[in-house]
Amino acid sequence: MKRNKCLIIMLSFSLISTGCWDQHLMKNVTLIQALTYDLTNKQLLCVGAAAPVIGNLHSKNSSSKSDILVTTARTPGEAKIILNHMASGVLDTAKNKLLLLGEAFAAQDIYPFLDLHYRNPRNSLNARVAVVKDKALPLIQLKNDREEHISRYLLDLIQSAEESLIIPEENIQSIASVLLDPGEDITLPFIVVEENKHKAFVKGIALFNDRKYTGYHLNHNQSTLYLLLKKGSPQQNSFIITLDNVTKNYPERFVSFTVKHIKRKIKLHKSTHNQIYVSIDMNLKLQITEYPKGDVENDSSILKEKLSAALTTLTEEVLSHLKESNCDALGIGRKLMAFQPEVWSQLNKEDYFKKVHFKTSITIDGIKSGIVK
Amino acid sequence: MIGVILIMWMLCNQYPCLVMYDIFKKTSGEFLGKTLIVCYAVYFMLQGSYILARYGHIVGSWVLERTPHWIIISLMVAVSAYLVKDTLQSLARFYVLVTPLLIILLFLSTYSLKDANFLYILPIGSAGALNIFKGSKEAIFSMLGFDFIFFIFPFVNGSSKQKLKAVIMAHIFVTLFYTYLVFISLVYFMSPVDINLTPEPFIYMIKAYSFHVIERMDLFFISIWIISVATSFMYLLLLSSKGLANLFRLEHTRFLPLICVITLIVSIWFMHIDKLNVINKYLTACHYVFQLFIPALLLAVSFITKRRASVRHEAK
Amino acid sequence: MDNNRNKTETPSMNNNNLPIENDNHTIEKYLHHSFKHTQDLTVQRIEENGASVLIAYLDTIADHNKLQRIVFQTFLKMPLNEINTGNQTCVNYKVLREMAEAKEELLKGSCVISIEGTKQLYAINIANDVMRSIAEPENEKVVQGSHEGFVETLRQNVYLIRKTLKSDDLIIQYDKVGDEVQTEIALVYLEKHSNKRVINEIKRRIKSKPIDCVVNVGQLEGLIEDSARSPFPQMLNTERVDRTIAHLNEGKIIIFLEGCATCLIAPVHFSAFLQSADDYSSRWNTRLFISSLRFMGIFVAVFLPAFYIAVIAFHFDVLPDELVMPIKNSINEIPFPPLIEAFIMELTIELIREAGLRLPPRIGPTVSIVGGLVIGDAIVRAGLISTTMIIVVAITAIAAFSIPTHEMSEAVRLLRFPFMLLAACLGLVGMSFGVIVVLGHLCKLESFGSPYFTPFTLKDFKDKIIGKYIKKLIKTNT
């Protein structure tokens, strides 16, 4: 009994006196909430980090803003070391929410630069990744009146765009598998800074080929359609489509709608190593949100016809964009690997996507008119 | 696998009221039996140290990066020794108590299905049956462990058939569970490049989860998983100390400090030389010897002696 | 020394098994001697019916009215031969065989009478029945249901049980505990339901453990429980009659102690400490909800401060994005490390509780207002403790107080300090070691041979919860 007591006392003593190696006090930490990677003219990495400045607790209306640290370095790891010397506390990227890549940076192989994020257990893996037109750094230097922290503002921007099905939900973790997969390519949100308005603007989806940004991006309508194709489950979404160009009354030329229900099938047909045949079938149910001409029910058969034609051309646009950029975002290669491995093994892994022939057919099953006719 | 269970079970069934260690003595004679017991005790200790080293490695690289390994490991040893020093019954109660924690695991893994890509596992069987068999050979013994119930065979209530049923059920459950986890990991990660890069795919996978109120599920998972590690270390501790106790006819608690210190030192050494995979290979060979060959041999011996005894009986 | 001298003078006087002496003088001397000449021992000698009569009683616990009415007016008026034949039609008296018995009877408040020439001692109970009225226990109030509570008299308590539980199965066994001062205890159980092994075990433990004097159930509990060093209570204390009866019906054994309004219930399971008397009168779904709330209470009370420390000192990455900034804001300028911060606040709360406990009801609330509101507000304004820490500590305190049994609440409050320490040393990993030790300890504990903390198995669940309600349903339908 006495020996036990001694042991317990010794153990607890040793724990208390020598413990806390891993203590990592939150109050001593400078939290990085957004990171930008850019490429300088000298092919060096320019890293920008937004760390929110913690205001005094009691003065509520002190405008706490973000502190922007910028440095150039050869790798993200080196940049982190340099930034750590600049920051007031220990730099911590555990709560990083955003990783913004400048256009020039994204155009090179991005995977080696992400290694830092995958290797360290403390790094956050669910930071959103996005490509920014031109340079990424100005984006976190934006001055915004309403949101206190720029990272919060940007994250809200991205999340709302995700919800309205304009951009895919991608974070550092989820792109990893796809980056490494020869049979599938990633797509990332594409953001533009509007210089004079001090606002950021989600432009669409940036297309990647293998691990490089191709310079192509999809616009709103195309992105939404692409995401419908890819995910197959409609969330909030909206399209606006020109019905015809001849109607005199200008607003009546257009119709806008949301997709309520979608049944889609991307089917891989028997292929050879030269020709890959894929058919895309979509059955949609729509809800008209704007139809200035009025009386949807009356026009429903014409609408169905016209809209399916318009959507088909839109799909073809999307597919041709994908093909031009050689971005296999739909994972056709993965499907080949799974179902026709013998075809896949003969294919050139680099540009197989150019050999894919798509056949799209879109049918509209129903149109709802909303609460008026 | 089922074969291993059956052999153990038949062996125990021959002597229903003897502990496994007594069976050794009975079937192979006093001296040989005693050496066998020592061998088994050492084998359990080695396995325990391996588990400790694995655990120390994972905790060290995922959660407590700067804490010295010996602290993490010795805490585990101390905690397990505290539980093992009491009765078998309380240990069993503890095991039952922590079983529901598996549900959390199940939930966490199922949650990841939401961004899974089922195409990753196709085509199944592309590597060929031989490779699959070779791969499963390595993994099979990580599922074994329930057959140690046969070491405490007489302490368990119920007929021997019930025990067999329980053990087989447990094995099937664990196998299914592991298969499920492997499946989930495969579906989530890209095979084979990405999964080769991540030695602990499951933990990696749950790291990115965000449940709005809580993030970094891997920390919680590891904290819970520590309890499972403790259970598996505890039974090894118990069995090896029981073995030594059987040898010297003393209370098993007398040997506990000794065994704890030995496993502690060996596991720290394992971690120090940093070749866990090599050690695992050697251990796999040990698994074959101790879980398959020796019980099978003993079974054969016991059959022969029994028959001889019955023949002699008839002759009389 | 004193004893020794006495022995040499009158060797027979210390012998308790002394047969009854005929000599009134010897008896008087014996009594005075054994009570060490206390001044409230009254010995009167009178002549009645021609015989010399000795009447002895302890003045302080005797009722003079009774003495007058029963002894002087009735008993002594009876003819001697009627007393000798044991006719007890008028007065209930007891015939004593040994001098030691006389001593005991005196201590109980009886009057001992010796009539010269009868060679017998008589004892008549004239004890002063000063009794507290039956009231609802202060610390176990219920909203609905019976409002009876035990009092400090053993027999009265047994009466309360008998009165409510009218069964011929109810068995009461008296026993004595204590070496110097013997205190009466009573074991109450239902023959049909209770386990004989447990009863014998309790009796054995009471007999075998040496103790001078037992004044409190707490002492008795410490004396007979399985592991006295455990922080968890292994016997249930209650002052409520209905709760005791419910436990009796479950086959538990009740121990009453003379002079204590609390009874002990054994063997108990961990979950018994989470039941309140209200549970018996509420509907099953409410009960399920409330008892799961209490389980959560235990969980929160033990783990929340430790978890908070682990989070802000080790893994703040578990916080979601929306929570990081507010918490970071609140703790950014706190001078103390989280462990110290938590200890200061926890100890303050415990101090406030302790201070408020002993004060008269008029001052009590003042203390809690000063302690809770003023200190809480000022300490945050001064920037010593973070707001989130205050929130965490307050939630913890409330959770700990939601546990219905006082002892378990104390155990839980104590248990969170080691957890806080572990969390401050090793973060979540340290906490899970704590969990292993506590769970393991709970699994090791046994309450009189039955497991203290058995987990629910599927079979239990089927039998206990579903089975009960289905049975109930069938019963109500037919």
Q: Is residue B222 less than 8 Å (CB to CB) from chain C? A: yes
Distance CA A105, CA A136 (A): 9
pLDDT-derived band of residue C475, with 50, 70 and 90 as boundaries? low
- Convert C339-377 into a string of H (helix), E (strand) and C (coil): HHHHHHHHHHHHHHHHHHHHCCCCCHHHHHHHHHHHHHH
Task: Answer yes or no: are the C-beta atoms of A96 and A126 closer than 8 Å.
Answer: no
Q: Which two tokens stand for residue A338?
A: 């799974």
Q: Residue C10 CA to chain centroid, in angstroms?
A: 43
Q: Is residue B131 less than 8 Å (CB to CB) from chain C? A: no
Q: What is the pLDDT at residue C453?
A: 80
Distances (CA, A) of C124 to C50, C117, C251: 21, 19, 37
Task: Answer yes or no: are the C-beta atoms of C58 and C107 closer than 8 Å.
Answer: yes
Q: Residue C81 CA to chain centroid, in angstroms?
A: 48
Q: A364: closest CA among A311, A285, A258, A310?
A: A285
Cβ neighbours of A117 in B, within 8 Å: none
Cis peptide before C267 (omega within 30 of 0): yes
Q: What is the pLDDT at residue C9?
A: 39
Q: Which two tokens stand for residue A270?
A: 């028997």
Distance CA C82, CA C404 (A): 58
Q: What is the pLDDT of residues A14-34, one digit of tens each?
A: 655 555 677 778 888 888 888
Q: What is the pLDDT of residues C214-239, one digit of tens each?
A: 888 888 888 888 888 888 888 888 88
Q: Long-range CB contacts (< 8 A, 24+ apart) of A116-120? A: A116/A75, A116/A76, A116/A77, A116/A80, A117/A76, A117/A93, A117/A172, A118/A172, A118/A176, A118/B197
Query: Chains contacting C with at least 3 CB pairs below 8 Å?
Result: A, B
Largest CA distance in chain A: 100
Distance CA C373, CA C359 (A): 18
Cβ neighbours of B59 in C, within 8 Å: 429
Q: Determine, for residues A95 and C321 on separate chains, whether the beta-carbon distance falls below 8 Å.
A: yes
Q: Determine, for residues A19 and C424 on separate chains, whether the beta-carbon distance falls below 8 Å.
A: yes
Q: What is the mean pLDDT of chain B?
A: 78
Q: Determine, for residues A12 and C421 on separate chains, whether the beta-carbon distance falls below 8 Å.
A: yes
Q: What is the pLDDT at residue B137?
A: 63
Predicted complex ipTM: 0.86
**Bridge partners for A267 per DSSP:** A279
Q: What is the pLDDT of residues C133-165, one digit of tens each?
A: 888 887 778 877 788 888 888 888 888 899 888
Q: A98: closest CA among A164, A152, A160, A24?
A: A152
Comparison of pLDDT for A196 and A101, the residue scoring more: A101
pLDDT exceeds 50 at position B38: yes
Distance CA B267, CA B70 (A): 9
Q: Counting beta carbons within 10 angstroms of the beta carbon of residue C206, is it exposed (0 to 12), middle (13 to 18) or buried (19 or more)? A: buried
Quote the minimal CA–CA distance from A114 to chain C in Å: 19
Quote the minimal CA–CA distance from A23 to chain C in Å: 5
Q: What is the pLDDT at residue A345?
A: 80
Q: Determine, for residues A24 and C314 on separate chains, whether the beta-carbon distance falls below 8 Å.
A: yes
Q: What is the pLDDT of residues B67-77, one digit of tens each?
A: 888 888 888 99
- Residue in C323, C428, C433 closest to B79 by CB: C433
Q: What is the pLDDT of residues C426-441, one digit of tens each?
A: 888 889 999 999 988 8
pLDDT-derived band of residue C12, with 50, 70 and 90 as boundaries? very low
Contacts of residue B7, defined as CB under 8 A and 6 or more positions apart, other chains included, come to: B292, B295, B296, B299
Share of chain A above pLDDT 70, in %: 90
pLDDT-derived band of residue B33, with 50, 70 and 90 as boundaries? confident
Query: How many Cβ pairs closer than 8 A exist between chain A and B?
Result: 64
Q: Determine, for residues A122 and C325 on separate chains, whether the beta-carbon distance falls below 8 Å.
A: no
Q: Determine, for residues B193 and A11 on separate chains, whether the beta-carbon distance falls below 8 Å.
A: no
Site from A11, A23, A32 to mutate, C interface, most C CB atoms within 10 angstroms: A23
Contacts of residue B117, defined as CB under 8 A and 6 or more positions apart, other chains included, come to: A177, A331, A334, B187, B188
Share of chain B above pLDDT 90, in %: 0
Q: Is residue C334 less than 8 Å (CB to CB) from chain A? A: yes
User: What average pLDDT score do residues C322-331 get?
Assistant: 84
- Residue in A21, A172, A338 closest to B66 by CB: A21
- Residue in A21, A173, A178 closest to B208 by CB: A173
User: What average pLDDT score do residues A186-211 get?
Assistant: 84
Cβ neighbours of B94 in C, within 8 Å: 439-440, 443
Q: What is the pLDDT at residue C5?
A: 39
Query: Chains contacting A with at least 3 CB pairs below 8 Å?
Result: B, C
> Could you say which DSSP state residue B119 is in?
G
Cβ neighbours of C317 in A, within 8 Å: 94-95, 122, 124
List the single residue in B with minimal CA-CA distance to C435.
B227
- Residue in B71, B126, B194 closest to A180 by CB: B194
pLDDT-derived band of residue C463, with 50, 70 and 90 as boundaries? low
Q: What is the pLDDT at residue C301?
A: 92
Site from A12, A22, A26 to mutate, C interface, most C CB atoms within 10 angstroms: A26
Q: What is the pLDDT at residue A15?
A: 59
Q: Which two tokens stand for residue C153?
A: 């008299």
Is A54 in a helix, a strand, or coil? coil
Q: Determine, for residues C455 and B213 on separate chains, whether the beta-carbon distance falls below 8 Å.
A: no
Vertex A225 angle, CA A219 and A226, to 5°: 80
Distance CA C338, CA C308 (A): 9
H/E segment holding residue A36: strand A34-39
User: What average pLDDT score do residues A280-287 get?
Assistant: 87
Q: Alpha helices, DSSP H only, in chain B?
A: 2-14, 20-28, 30-62, 69-84, 88-98, 101-111, 129-143, 160-188, 193-197, 201-207, 217-248, 256-273, 276-287, 294-315
Q: What is the pLDDT of residues B244-257, one digit of tens each?
A: 888 887 777 778 88
- Residue in B64, B68, B189 closest to A177 by CB: B189
Query: How many Cβ pairs closer than 8 A exist between chain B and C?
Result: 87
Share of chain B above pLDDT 70, in %: 76
Query: Chains contacting B with at least 3 CB pairs below 8 Å?
Result: A, C
**Bridge partners for C127 per DSSP:** C62
**Bridge partners for A91 per DSSP:** A30
User: What average pLDDT score do residues A307-332 get?
Assistant: 86
* Domains of chain C, residue spans: 2-125, 154-275, 282-447
Rounded to two decimals, the pTM is: 0.85
Q: How many residues does chain B have?
A: 316
Distance CA A280, CA A316 (A): 11
Distance CA A112, CA C294 (A): 52
Quote the minimal CA–CA distance from A72 to chain B in Å: 29
Q: Long-range CB contacts (< 8 A, 24+ apart) of C292-296? A: C293/C402, C294/C402, C294/C403, C294/C404, C296/C399
pLDDT exceeds 80 at position C18: no
Q: Determine, for residues A27 and C312 on separate chains, whether the beta-carbon distance falls below 8 Å.
A: yes
Distance CA C54, CA C42 (A): 10
Cβ neighbours of C270 in B, within 8 Å: none
Q: What is the pLDDT of residues A72-110, one digit of tens each?
A: 888 888 888 898 888 877 888 888 888 999 888 888 888
Q: Is residue B207 less than 8 Å (CB to CB) from chain A? A: yes
Q: Which residues of A241-266 are buried (b: 16+ CB within 10 A; e: fewer)?
A: bebeeeeeeeeebbbebbbeebebeb
Task: Answer yes or no: are the C-beta atoms of C176 and C183 closer than 8 Å.
Answer: yes
Q: Determine, for residues B216 and C454 on separate chains, whether the beta-carbon distance falls below 8 Å.
A: no
Q: Determine, for residues B97 and C427 on separate chains, whether the beta-carbon distance falls below 8 Å.
A: no
Strand pairing of C183-190 and C253-257? antiparallel
Cβ neighbours of A126 in B, within 8 Å: 208-210, 215
Terminal alpha carbon distance of chain A: 87
Q: Token match 């410490």: residue?
A: C222
Cβ neighbours of C428 in B, within 8 Å: 63, 219-220, 222-223
Task: Answer yes or no: are the C-beta atoms of A36 and A100 closer than 8 Å.
Answer: yes
Q: What is the mean pLDDT of chain C?
A: 81
H/E segment holding residue A316: helix A296-324
Task: Answer yes or no: are the C-beta atoms of B111 and B198 closer than 8 Å.
Answer: no
* Main-chain dihedrals φ then ψ at residue C211, nearest 5 degrees: -155, 145
Quote the minimal CA–CA distance from B167 to chain A in Å: 36
Distance CA B215, CA B219 (A): 9
Distance CA B288, CA B283 (A): 9
Contacts of residue C155, defined as CB under 8 A and 6 or more positions apart, other chains included, come to: none
- Residue in C317, C325, C421 closest to A52 by CB: C325
Handedness of CA B182, B184, B186, B189 (dihedral sign): negative
